[in-house]
Amino acid sequence: RPRIGVLALQGDVREHLAALEESGAEAVPVRRESELATVDGLVIPGGESTTIEKLLRAFDLFEPVRERLREGLPAYGSCAGMILLADRVVGGTSDQTTLGGLDITVRRNAFGRQVDSFETDLDVAGIDGEPVHAVFIRAPWVEEVGSGAQVLAAVGEGAAAGRIVAVRQGGILATSFHPEVTGDHRVHRLFVQIVRESLDAAPGHDAEG
Ligand code: GLN
């Protein structure tokens, strides 16, 4: 079983841990560098991206997480987690910095005040079967996608139709929405699969073992 960490500073940590366990991973909370060192992948939950950034620094995790992402650690970011994984952010505070890794520009709180939170069904590339029921809570959207990143889903209907809300670049996956709250674990299963593939591809991996 791949060992996947959930950054446990703010947000739906318990729900992500449960969804990962039910998707075939060993899931562990990550609050310190020694815990980060043991994981094969990392989930960054939603919350408030500037608060998570401050907590990452307070827990001496900002640079270590950034370093592991640079080395190719697979990561999945939901909502604020997507913002933290984006290389560029607009619509927030000017001094906001991110971990980066995804060649995208995200717009914070993009869907506007009237529609602070909403739900819709999405077709997500790489997820078969029924559309994914997506819950958005003061969510960002992806405003620009660099050449390295792949669009997995866009909103299909309403005022926000066409807005990009799920992307992937190599081992990094991000969604504007919160799959941990719906009981549908297909996004988590996709991430567990991404982590498995990265382990299989790692140098020194023994295919028989
Ligand atoms: N609005 C938050 C931010 O900008 C994200 C909201 C969420 O993660 N649910 O960081």
Looking at the domain 3-201, which fold is it?
A: Rossmann fold (3.40.50)
Specify the pTM.
Answer: 0.95
Q: Is 47 annotated as a binding residue?
A: yes
Q: Whose CA is nearest to atom 2 of ligand 1?
A: 48
DSSP state of 148: T
180 catalytic? Reply is: yes
Give pLDDT, residue 209. Answer: 47
- Single out the residue of 179, 204, 198 nearest to residue 2, CA to CA: 198
From start to end of 20-176, where are the E strands? 26-30, 41-44, 75-78, 86-90, 102-107, 117-122, 132-137, 141-145, 150-154, 164-169, 172-175
- Single out the residue of 185, 186, 166 nearest to residue 177, CA to CA: 166
From the list 16, 53, 79, 188, the catalytic residue is 79
Euclidean distance between CA atoms 90 and 87, whole angstroms: 11
Give pLDDT, residue 206. Answer: 62
128's tokens: 């078969």
Q: Is 138 annotated as a binding residue?
A: yes
Residue type at position 51: T
From start to end of the chain, where are the E strands? 3-7, 26-30, 41-44, 75-78, 86-90, 102-107, 117-122, 132-137, 141-145, 150-154, 164-169, 172-175
Q: Cα-flanking dihedrals φ and ψ of residue 151, to 5°?
A: -80, 130
Provide the residue count of the chain: 209
Q: What is the atom index within ligand 1 of the atom nearest the CA of 92?
A: 4
Q: Whose CA is nearest to atom 4 of ligand 1?
A: 108
Tens digits of pLDDT across the chain (209 residues): 999 999 999 999 999 999 999 999 999 999 999 999 999 999 999 999 999 999 999 999 999 999 999 999 999 999 999 999 999 999 988 889 999 999 999 999 998 765 678 899 999 999 999 999 999 999 999 999 999 999 999 999 888 899 999 999 999 999 999 999 999 999 999 999 999 999 999 887 765 54
Give pLDDT, residue 136. Answer: 96
Pocket of ligand 1 (CB under 6 A): 46-49, 79-80, 83, 108-109, 137-138
79 catalytic? Reply is: yes
